[in-house]
Amino acid sequence: MEGFIMHMLKDTKSLAVTALMAAFTCIATMSIRIPTPTLGYIHPGDCLVLLCGVILGPVAGFLAAGIGSMFADILSGYIIYAIPTLIIKGVTALIAAVLFRRLKQIWNANHSFLFIAAGIPAELNMVFGYFANKIIQTMFLAGSCNSETFATGFASALTGIFTNCVQGAAGVVLGMLLLPVLSQIPDVRLWLTPKTRKSL
């Protein structure tokens, strides 16, 4: 009975932290918004997206980052991006989570270095995700799938690469600076510590 109660309390705590991180992600995404030529906007939310993955793990990180970012788009009037954002930001957090934990097992490096190593490929996924999404959206809104609409979408998507790269780089840097601070919280420090360590 005691074990069941402890399990329930642990699940409740995990759910609460996931919901809290989703809320923080939404707030960070909406806090500063700089419009871009692709009808999107630059924001500091990617910092929280990466932290969701690194701190919460693949599944909870996917949910917190994806849902938080999606609601930011909805509340900001960018509804057309809501579902793509849910998927793209969720997968970004998932990649960061998997890479961070794997690198933690095989490298004896500090959390900041591991965060950068995991964050860069995760953010490259974000850049590619929105690039592909812009092409698909352009073709969908045009109501046709041909070389002309693809070329239009491709050209439009190219204009967003630089701004998304800036946003991703800012997310990695801000997250790297915040992680040591958050690591002072006992629960966060525990979540960042792998149960086993493997060598190459």
The verdict on residue 196 lying in a domain is no
The verdict on residue 38 lying in a domain is yes
3-state helix/strand/coil string of 77-115: CCHHHHHHHHHHHHHHHHHHHHHHHHHHHHCCCCHHHHH
The verdict on residue 138 lying in a domain is yes
The pLDDT tens digits for 176-186 are 999 988 888 87
What sign results for the dihedral spanned by CA atoms 43, 46, 52, 55?
negative
pTM score: 0.86
**3-state class of 188 per DSSP?**
helix
Compare 39 and 92 and report the one with higher pLDDT: 92
Average pLDDT over residues 63-90: 95
Task: Copy the structure tokens of residue 146.
Answer: 């041909």
The pLDDT tens digits for 143-166 are 778 888 888 889 988 988 998 999
Query: Hey, how many other C-beta atoms are within 10 angstroms of the C-beta on 199?
Result: 7
Strand-pairing partners, residue 35, are: 41
Instruction: Quote the domain boundaries for residue 109.
Output: 11-191
Count structural domains, the chain. Answer: 1
- Integer CA distances (angstroms), 92 to 5, 46, 81, in order: 34, 9, 16
- Integer CA distances (angstroms), 89 to 93, 131, 154, 184, in order: 6, 13, 21, 26
Lookup result for tokens 């439009």:
156
The verdict on residue 6 lying in a domain is no
What is the largest distance, in Å, between two alpha-carbon atoms of the chain? 65
Average pLDDT over residues 30-49: 80
The verdict on residue 26 lying in a domain is yes
The verdict on residue 199 lying in a domain is no
The verdict on residue 155 lying in a domain is yes
The verdict on residue 143 lying in a domain is yes
Q: Grade residue 24 by pLDDT with cuts at 50, 70 and 90.
A: very high
Which residues, 6 or more positions from 6, have their beta carbon under 8 angstroms from its beta carbon? none
The pLDDT tens digits for 107-149 are 887 888 999 999 999 999 999 999 999 999 988 888 778 888 8
- Residue 65 belongs to a domain with what CATH number? 1.10.1760.20
